[in-house]
Structure 1
Amino acid sequence: MSENAENEVCAMCKSSAKQKCSGCRSVFYCNREHQKLHWKEHSKKCIAFRLAEDEKLGRHYVATRRIEIGDLILRDEKPLVEGPLQGTTALCLSCYVLLNTETAKPCEKCGWPLCSNCVEHGPECQFTTNHKGTKVKITDFDYPHPTYRCIAVVRALCLKETNPKSYKRFLSLEDHNKKAALCNEIHFHESTDIARFVKRFFKLNDVSENEIAKIAGILKINGHEVPTTEPAHMAVYDLSSFLEHSCRANGSKSFTAEGALVIRAASPISKGEHITICYTDPLWGVTNRRHHLLRTKFFECMCTRCTDPTEFMTMFNAIMCTKGECNGSMLPKTFILHNEERPDYICHTCNSSISWRMVEQITDKIGVDLSQMRKGDVQACKTFIHQHAKTLHENHFYMTDVKLALSQLIGQQEKLSTIDIEMLSEKILLCKKLDELLRTIAPAENRVRGVNLFEMHAAISEFGRRQGQDELRGILMESRRMLTEAYKLLRHEPEILPEGQIAIQARNNIREIDLIMKTSFQHSLSSMYKHTKEV
């Protein structure tokens, strides 16, 4: 039997098959029904992209078929390397929980402190025993401890012996140390400082400083912050390290409780389109995003969002026209700067202008106000919005930051059932506008979008409860629509995260709404039948 003949059997029932999976084109099915039944298993292996490379972007992924919203793109089951974030205080090297003098328990083998619930930890235990000679002693639990910056590096070095294939894959990732050295950047000095510290701390003679510096650079450039522990930790994955950046990514990122990194389509992706995730905070202003990417990832972002000063007409970075009688908004012609010259901000209505430097002074002052604002306070949020409404566009990133907080605080400080109808309506309108904005500039931010939709559903449901029976059904249908979308966005978040808990609540709420609507509909039919009989 030929190799082709062996492969041409249905993956579900093993009978003769001619239909191929359109994604990877390596699995066969006898009919579409069996393909659907097998998808849950096959989706973990099906590849809808290819690795491409060019001089400007380096290695990146290109879709080999159309990918629909919600489709699984890739799944990294286990990180190549994981460890504490840089600048952390003392924590347990098994579960990453923060420690203090009362909760810390030194590992009997190596001395690294653990929590009372953990007995074993990572390969740094044996590495410390083999190369340090003495046990580690951690006595300061109040400030970031410098020794923790070596943990992820040591775990990567351990792969050299325990899993040479994974170590080779890890070293193939970009470290950007050469770029950093040419720029005399902090990143380069951090990598070399860590390398010197590791060699000195563990008395390593058989590993070069350059190799350790390369490892440190790879960890910084390719590390993902994993929120499934408190505090979060860092992990470097294999397949996911080749995903390209965009400030308006088409791929959403989530983590499983077991540590897998999963990428799903946040927007429809056409065949030939690049697959992207966001390396920075998409809710920062364009200048801050680009500065962060340049300093930490060593490239100047030229994505469609950054090159459009209006950010798809959202005016996310705009200030209001400084001419009192004009209601226009002001933006520069571009935020892509190639020299020291900074273009003026120009009003799109009256063409008046103001210098870039003057705008920086205005926004810097407002930024200070924001940093000093009382957290978790509805009135403080409202005061900030009112005070700066004539200066900042309603969608400005500072305003958006405060509005996101306010949309969740309304109904938390006081229960939704106790607030007045005006504030309830304010919450609904706020959530709707935020939803429109987030869909436009950050469609891949599933956690933020899902929580906002859940808050909108809760407010709409409470609004409906206060209306008459005639209006209730239509309002509940709208609430259910919001809730269903929130659940779709959050359903892949692990239960250990707040967003995962909200997904569970959303699923339960959908059932409750369906029951209410069914009961209400049956009551309406009964009333109608009774009225007909009387007539």
Structure 2
Amino acid sequence: MEDADSKSLQGGPKFDVKVSKAMGRYMVSTKEIAPGEIILSEEPIVVGPCTGCKVQCLGCYRPLESETYFVKCPRCGWPLCSQTCPGLGQRHGHTIEECLILQKSKSSSLLDYSNLESLRLHLQAIVPLRCLILKRTDPSTFNIIWDMESHNDIRRNIPEVWNSNQVNVVNRITKDWGLVEFSEHEVHTVCGILEVNCFEIGQGINIRGLYPTAFLMSHDCVPNTNHTDEETNYKLTVRASTRISQGHPITLSYAYTLQNSLKRREHLLENKFFECHCKRCSDPTELGTYSGALICPKCKTGLVLCDKPLDAESSWSCNNLQGHCPGYSIAARSMKLLLHRISQEVEQIDLNDVEGMETFLKKYRNVLHPTHYLCFGIKVSLSQVYGKINGYLIYELSNELLERKRDLCTEILKVLDIIEPGYTRIRGVTLYEIHAPLMILLTRDMEDQSPAKSELRTRLREVLKYLTEASVILSYEPENSPEGIMGRAAKEALVQMRDWESIVGKL
């Protein structure tokens, strides 16, 4: 992985930072790191609204568009949730320095509170401004930011990206707000640094954070780490999800791992400005997960795979090479149009609509591979909805539907073992989800018949295995998050299960 000219730089106790022509700066482990072990934990340099976010409080980032009442900052006139917002004057909120700059620039005179779309566009300039303010207030921290990759040379040749930043950030700061102390080059560079290096924070709250060290992790579509962030101080904690050998790169995924290579590589090129050549992206089968495979419409048994996975314009062909297929091929453009059309159908499905999701899977069972990313996403949703909504509460499910939930979880876990192995959030949730149908089916079998002691012990051990791993993985999640709450439930269920095991052992 390391080029001949790479060199070791100062890093943390569990990693060094190396440099290569191919990868730039990247982290490598200085020791063997066990699954679940913390690699780094740090607070962000800056926090604030994502590009394309909805209107939110500048102090605590509470969404405001659905609120019947919110206030304007009495000094600068920008939106706040209240005059007593806990983020006022705080380092990771609406600071005094920022407020004074926005007040002096008379920026609020440009805000149209009757036009939400216009307000959203103005918020795009807030995080770049917060970075630039550090040039004045904290030069050493600003230098950390300035040393990050911006990919200006690439971004300048993408008119949609460059022009959007020019209008909504560069012109806003240097012209509309009159902050001439910052050059257009500086503002564009900060925009690039944020686009390339930021982490999204929380779940669905539309904020991002720039961290002093975490950005050094390199990308892989099968990452060996996962991370969580805290609600109060936005601290990011990175843990190993698998065992990482000494000298091995420490990686995360900049793309959504559950998507197929076509979508992931498209996202990485458009948003992170590089082409991924990892093992998963290079393999037409995506390491045997078939996340992008179609079922051949001609022979019905072969799979339609990308001929050249690292070429976005490559054709796709049936892999049935035994002479049974008359030959089937589809152009890249046609494949993208097909996926776009089916994706639109998926987006129209309510993720609490069990019948709608099952209908989709039946409709495309002869078109998409069972673990195609569009089917897989639906199956993940179904595995979590069965047992939780009216009409499908867990103890009301028939044996058939309990077996359906169990089988969905089993299929999901097999794929996750490949694309998100180890201690990952989605794996922990799925391990927890599978224990309930297994336990209820066992209980019903015991009521209807008396399973042999050996079978009873085997099935109990299986449930214990899933619950034990789920409780470990989910214990790393923030305490009040849905996953953290699920982790506590897993621990409570474990206590009950061990009581059961003790009773069975005495039979």
TM class by smaller structure: 0.7 to 0.9
Q: Distance in 1 between matches of 2:397 and 2:15?
A: 50
Q: Which runs of 5+ in 1 are unaligned?
A: 1-25, 27-44, 525-535
Residue 136 (structure 1) shift: 7.0
Q: Distance in 2 between matches of 1:463 and 1:192?
A: 60
Give matches, 1:252-271, under 5 Å: 252-257=226-231, 258-271=233-246
Q: Distance in 1 between matches of 2:78 and 2:31?
A: 49
Q: Distance in 2 between matches of 1:381 and 1:348?
A: 34
Contact map agreement 1:465 1:472 (CA 8 A) in 2: no
1:390 to 360, 366, 371: 366
Residue 297 (structure 1) shift: 1.0
Letter of the aligned partner of 1:260 in structure 2? Answer: K
1:98 aligns with 2:63: yes
Identity between Structure 1 and Structure 2 (%): 29
1:451 aligns with 2:429: yes
Contact map agreement 1:110 1:135 (CA 8 A) in 2: no
For the pair shown, the structure with the greater C-alpha radius of gyration is 1
Q: Distance in 2 between matches of 1:318 and 1:134?
A: 51
1:500 to 484, 490, 505: 484
Flag the 1:187–1:133 CA change in 2: closer, same or farther, 3 A.
closer
Q: Distance in 2 between matches of 1:141 and 1:494?
A: 36
- 1:424 corresponds to which residue? 402
Flag the 1:486–1:352 CA change in 2: closer, same or farther, 3 A.
farther
Flag the 1:393–1:168 CA change in 2: closer, same or farther, 3 A.
same
1:118 aligns with 2:89: no
1:249 to 223, 229, 232: 223
What's the secondary structure of 2:124's corresponding residue? helix
1:347 to 298, 320, 323: 320
TM-score (ref. length: structure 1) = 0.83
Contact map agreement 2:218 2:252 (CA 8 A) in 1: yes
Q: Distance in 2 between matches of 1:445 and 1:370?
A: 28
Letter of the aligned partner of 1:464 in structure 2? Answer: L
Residue 268 (structure 1) shift: 1.9
1:305 aligns with 2:251: no
- 2:125 corresponds to which residue? 150
Q: Distance in 2 between matches of 1:517 and 1:322?
A: 50
Contact map agreement 1:177 1:187 (CA 8 A) in 2: no
CA shift digits 1:137-162 (9 cap, x unpaired): 55136436211111111111221222
CA RMSD of aligned residues (A): 2.4
Contact map agreement 1:70 1:265 (CA 8 A) in 2: yes
Residue 434 (structure 1) shift: 0.5
- 1:322 corresponds to which residue? 297
Contact map agreement 1:454 1:486 (CA 8 A) in 2: yes
Q: Distance in 2 between matches of 1:185 and 1:294?
A: 14
- 2:134 corresponds to which residue? 159
Flag the 1:514–1:348 CA change in 2: closer, same or farther, 3 A.
farther
- 1:41 corresponds to which residue? none
- 2:500 corresponds to which residue? 516
Contact map agreement 1:244 1:276 (CA 8 A) in 2: yes
1:52 aligns with 2:14: no
Contact map agreement 1:89 1:141 (CA 8 A) in 2: no
Residue 131 (structure 1) shift: 3.6
What's the secondary structure of 1:145's corresponding residue? helix
- 1:405 corresponds to which residue? 381
- 1:108 corresponds to which residue? 74
Contact map agreement 2:240 2:423 (CA 8 A) in 1: no
Letter of the aligned partner of 2:349 in structure 1? Answer: M
- 1:29 corresponds to which residue? none
CA shift digits 1:12-49 (9 cap, x unpaired): xxxxxxxxxxxxxx9xxxxxxxxxxxxxxxxxx96222
Contact map agreement 1:345 1:356 (CA 8 A) in 2: no
Q: Which runs of 5+ in 2 are unaligned?
A: 1-9
Flag the 1:504–1:142 CA change in 2: closer, same or farther, 3 A.
farther
Residue 438 (structure 1) shift: 0.9
- 2:352 corresponds to which residue? 376
Flag the 1:166–1:361 CA change in 2: closer, same or farther, 3 A.
closer
Contact map agreement 1:281 1:289 (CA 8 A) in 2: yes
Give matches, 1:4-83, under 5 Å: 47-75=13-41, 77-83=42-48
Contact map agreement 1:111 1:136 (CA 8 A) in 2: no
What's the secondary structure of 2:27's corresponding residue? strand
- 1:232 corresponds to which residue? 206
What's the secondary structure of 1:262's corresponding residue? strand
- 1:15 corresponds to which residue? none
Q: Distance in 2 between matches of 1:499 and 1:141?
A: 36
1:486 aligns with 2:460: no
Residue 233 (structure 1) shift: 0.8
**Matched length:** 475
Residue 200 (structure 1) shift: 2.2
Q: Distance in 1 between matches of 2:374 and 2:384?
A: 16
Flag the 1:461–1:490 CA change in 2: closer, same or farther, 3 A.
same
Give matches, 1:326-341, under 5 Å: 326-337=300-311, 340=313
What's the secondary structure of 2:445's corresponding residue? coil
Contact map agreement 2:15 2:29 (CA 8 A) in 1: yes
CA shift digits 1:211-262 (9 cap, x unpaired): 111111111111111016x523100111111111011111112213331111
Residue 203 (structure 1) shift: 1.2
TM-score (ref. length: structure 2) = 0.87
Contact map agreement 1:333 1:345 (CA 8 A) in 2: no
